[in-house]
Amino acid sequence: MNEIKSMDVMTRAVKQLADWLLTEPNDGNPLCFAGPPEPTVLGLSRVKMRSIAGAEWTLIAGLQEGWLTAEQGAANFWRIAKLEREEVAREEASQSDALAVLEMLAAEADAGTVMIPSALRLTIDAALIKAGRKEAPVPVRHITINGGV
C-alpha cells in the first residue's frame, strides 16, 4: 500500500516537472518544439523551443531517446535507489563481521598463539582503531642515556 502511495506522489512529481519544463517562464504559456534535436555534443542535446508569441531559443539539456515514459524512467530511478540502499545495508552488516574477525585475530596474536607479520599486525590495529573497536596507543618517549643501561 505504501508503494502505491509513493508511486502516485512520484507520478504527480513527474507531471509537475514536465509542465514546468514546457511552460514559458515569463508569461506561463505552453511551449512547443521548433525543430528536431540537434546532434549531441558531450552528452547534451540542443533543441529549438518556440513560445506562443513566436519567440525562439535553444534549450540545452541531456535529452535521450528511448521507449520509457517519464513515469517509467522515474520508477527505474526509485528502483535503483532502493537496490543501492539494500546493498549499503548488506555492506554495513558484513563490516561488523569483518571487524569481529580482526578482533579475534588480534587477540590471538596478543596471546602469542598465532604469529603474524608486524606490518599485517599494524594494519589490523589501525583498522580496529579507526573503527573505534580498539583504544589508540598512548605515545611513549624512549630515552637512551649514553653509558647507561
CB-CB contact of 28 with 51 (8 Å): no
Report pLDDT digits (tens) over 40-95: 666 666 777 777 777 777 777 665 556 667 777 788 888 888 888 888 888 888 88
Number of domains in the chain: 2
Q: Is the residue at 80 inside a domain?
A: no
Q: Is the residue at 145 inside a domain?
A: no
Mean confidence (pLDDT) of the chain: 75
Q: Is the residue at 81 inside a domain?
A: no
Q: Looking at residue 34, what is its pLDDT?
A: 73
Residue 120 CB burial class (10 angstroms; 0-12, 13-18, ≥19): exposed
Q: Is the residue at 64 inside a domain?
A: no
DSSP 8-class letter at 51: -
CB-CB contact of 47 with 61 (8 Å): yes
pLDDT bin (cut points 50, 70, 90) of residue 147 is: low
Q: Is the residue at 44 inside a domain?
A: yes
- Ranked by mean pLDDT, which of 6-20, 29-43, 79-93 comes out on top? 79-93
**Cα separation of 140 and 66, whole Å?**
66
> What domain range includes position 26?
2-53
Q: Is the residue at 7 inside a domain?
A: yes
